[in-house]
Amino acid sequence: MSEMLGTLVFYAVAFVILATALGVVTSKNLVHSALLMTACFIGVGVLFIWLSADFLGAMEFMLYSGGVAILVVMGVMLTKRQDGPPGNPFNHRKITALGLVILFVLVMSTVIVSTPVPSGSYVSADTVDALADMMLNKYILAFEIAATLLLAALVGAIILAKGDGEA
């Protein structure tokens, strides 16, 4: 892959990510928002692969654009109030929030641009092996805790969604 092509791909992916993300926020239809969000996640997954993190890219596709998207769509479906497409309105803080966010972007960009970048890079030939090795050796505790967290989230979600009356 030539350098030119790489740059082009990055900008294309970045455009997709930002455009779909904006769509998520501004769309009037909640279902559209959810679909755009899925597209955004696919973009992020492609970006991961571009950053030579292929395992993470695969995870992103499966978990986010697969699992999370489905969860969110189900959430939309379960909480629908009236007939017709579920709305996605703004609240009265729309303008203030916009100002705040722009301020945030400005400050963060200044930080990023003004901070010296360390030179050097790291590309792993085989991310899956390396990640598995770390996960089951050095970070085994974090791994186990993550497993417990998932279990707790599973139980918690069931109990929350089940309600009081339905024992």
Partner 1 sequence: MMFYEFALEHAWLIPLLPAIAFVIIGMLTRSYGKLSAFIAVCMSTISFLLSSGVTYAVVNNGITVEMPFVQKLSWMSIGSVDITMGVLIDPLTAMMLMVVSTVSLLVQIYSCGYMKGDPGYGRFFSFLSLFAASMLGLVLAVNFLQMYVFWELVGLCSYLLIGFYYYKISAREAAKKAFMTTRVGDFGLLLGILLLQINFGTLDFMALKEIIPAHIMSAGTGLMTIIALLIFVGPIGKSGQFPLHVWLPDAMEGPTPVSALIHAATMVVAGVYLVGRAFFMFNELPTVMTFIAWVGGFTAFFAASIAFTQTAIKRILAYSTISQLGYMMLALGVGSLTASFFHLMTHAFFKALLFLCAGAVMHAMADEANIFKMGGLKNKMPITFATMTIGVLAIAGIPPFAGFFSKDEILGAAAAVSTPLYILATLTAFMTAFYMARLLFVTFFGQPASEESYEHAHEASWFMLIPLIVLGALAVVSGLWGHIYGFGEWVRFGAAHEAGIDMFIAVSSTILSLVAFGIAWNIYVTKKWSSDVIAEKCGILYKLSYNKFYIDEIYAALIKVAVDGVAKVFYWIDIYIVDGIINGLAGLVGGISAMLSKAENGQAQHYAGFFICGVVILVAYSLYYLAVLGGAL
Partner 2 sequence: MTIGLNHCLLLSAALFAIGLYGVLSKRNIIAVLMGVELMLNAVNINFVAFNRFTPVSDLTGQLMAVFAITVGVAEVAIGVALAYRIYNDRQTINVDELDNMKG
User: C-alpha 104: how far from its chain's center?
Assistant: 19
Eight-class DSSP state of 125: S
Angle at 54 between CA 49 and CA 57, to 5 degrees: 70
Binding residues among 11-70 for partner 2 as defined by CB under 8 A = 14, 17-18, 21-22, 24-25, 30, 33-34, 37, 40-41, 44, 47-48, 51-53, 55-56, 59-60, 63-64, 67-68
Taking CB under 8 A as the criterion, the residue among 14, 97, 134, 135 binding partner 1 is 97
CA–CA dist 157, 37 (Å, integer): 22
Within 10 Å of residue 31's Cβ, how many Cβ atoms?
16
Q: Which does 74 bind (CB under 5 to 8 A by kind): partner 2, partner 1, none?
A: partner 2
User: What residues line the site for partner 1 (CB under 8 A)?
Assistant: 91, 93, 96-97, 100, 103-104, 107-108, 110-111, 114
